[in-house]
Amino acid sequence: MNGDIVKQSALSDATKKQMYALFSSQFDNISMQQFLHDLDEKDWVLLVHDDTGNLICFSSMLIINTRMDDQDVTLIYSGDTVADSATWGNSALSYYWMGAIDWLRRHYDMDRVFWFLLVSGYRTYRFLPVYSQFFYPRHDEPTPDNIQALMHAIATERFNDKYDPETGIVRLGAPAILKDEYRGIPENRMSDPHIAFFAERNPGHVQGDELLCFAELSESKLTPLGKRMWRKGQKLFPDDA
């Protein structure tokens, strides 16, 4: 397994086709044209290949410069992130993803790493408490006013009337919808308070509704597991990646 962090503008047509094929193996309702349009808005892409050269994971990322608490801050906004379902139990993919986030932190000289994302699947939401001690919205405490204001400002600017500030839900005009075999939440997972909260806050997730989420991925804000992923991921991408 090997990973690369690539400028979106440097992706080859062949790589884009491979990315769309992997995306389409899990999602319906998105054409190649729409996929490429969304991809064109991003700055960087993490590509992970297996030892035979097959693309098994990708994650696109947009860098957003904004202000929070009267200070300039840089956010990493996650676009499409897809891993081959056969690799879901492989923790190495998490190391590559965390390594890519840390490389971007160093590349942009960030003191703190803020992660902004839309979530339509419970598996993705569950990664927030796995990685970070500082994420919102969450079941056990309200979102701080300054974080809520930042989330609202960015979502309003990016999604306009597709964003509902009362619920924190984004309803895209042509949402990506998980294929039947990946859609929905198994009943036995609803005992997890994080997953139950996600289901309550985003009842339309099976139709592709997206829950606006925010986390800090600075090392001091990570969970013990997140810190191990971070430190191992650091070794995967040196400064000249």
Summarised one tens digit per residue, pLDDT across range 151-165 is: 999 999 999 999 999
Whether 19 maps to a domain, the answer reads yes
Determine contact, residues 58/88, Cβ cutoff 8 Å: no
Specify the pLDDT at position 241. 52
Asked whether residue 241 is assigned to any structural domain, the reply reads no
What is the pLDDT, as a whole number, of residue 90? 82
Q: What percent of the chain has pLDDT over 90?
A: 84
Residue 89 pLDDT level (bands cut at 50, 70, 90): confident
240 located within any domain: no
CA distance 219 to 200: 30
Lowest average pLDDT, out of 88-92, 101-105, 132-136, goes to 88-92
For 215-238, the pLDDT digits (tens) are: 999 999 999 999 999 999 989 998
Cis peptide leading into 175, omega within 30 of 0? no
Strand-strand pairing, 71-83 and 114-119: parallel
Residues of the chain above pLDDT 70, percent: 99
**Two tokens, residue 47:** 């590509």
Q: Which amino acid is at 17?
A: K
Residue 148 lies in a domain: yes
Structural domain for 43, as ranges: 2-234
Of 75-89, 169-183, 191-205, the range with the highest mean pLDDT is 191-205
Reported as a single tens digit per residue, the pLDDT across 14-71 is 999 999 999 999 999 899 999 999 999 999 999 999 999 999 999 999 999 988 888 8
Number of domains in the chain: 1
Mean pLDDT of the residues in the chain: 93
| CATH code for the domain in which residue 19 is found | 3.40.630.30
Query: How far, in Å, CA of 198 to CA of 196, rounded?
Result: 5
> Does 239 map to a domain?
no
How much is the pTM?
0.92
